[in-house]
Amino acid sequence: MVAITPDVKRMMNSQHVILIGTANDQKIPNVSPRSSFYVDNDVIYWYEIFMHKSYQNFTKNNWVSVSVVDYNEFSGYQLKGHAKIVTDKKEYFHADTRLSENLPKNHEEKVRKLILNNDIKIIQFKPLVLYSLNPAEFEKSPGLLESDVDLDKLQELEEFPILDYV
């Protein structure tokens, strides 16, 4: 079974913010924070309230990066994997219940109003690769979460062509 490590969970739950990285059709990146999320053993769920750039990006390219940073410890993690919109009613109910229980206390009321007034989606993120962002470790190799990840293919997907500017 794929599992998100206890340290990653601890950091996400203590920081209360994750950063979602996506890319559009032209491979232009977008990074957006999420504070309404839930970390399960093998997936991360979050509310997609506004459905702007990130949402539009991963509906076309489901490769997503999720990062968390602890600025006090000067460390963090990046997970790369696939995102999907939760459509199964049982899974949606389960995720919605967990997300509702884990709303950030400092703006819980605001988030609840946004959820009531918008056609929100719940996103499921399934990590395939985990990288440490701890500069003390000088880690260049990913920590694999899943044995069938083709690292050569992953590297190809991460390499972007150099653009010629006129």
Task: Give the Cα separation of 77 and 61 in Å (integer).
Answer: 22
* Structural domains for the chain: 6-146 (2.30.110.10)
- pLDDT digit string, tens, across residues 58-68: 889 999 999 99
Q: Supply the pTM of this predicted model.
A: 0.82
Question: pLDDT-derived band of residue 12, with 50, 70 and 90 as boundaries?
Answer: very high
**At residue 85, does pLDDT exceed 70?**
yes
Q: Which of 48-52, 62-66, 110-114 has the highest mean pLDDT?
A: 62-66
Q: Do 129 and 155 touch, CB atoms closer than 8 A?
A: no
In percent, the amount of the chain with pLDDT more than 70 equals 80
Average pLDDT over residues 31-58: 91
**At residue 96, does pLDDT exceed 80?**
yes
Question: pLDDT-derived band of residue 149, with 50, 70 and 90 as boundaries?
Answer: low
Say how many C-beta atoms besides its own lie within 10 A of residue 36's C-beta. 24
Summary mean pLDDT of the chain: 83
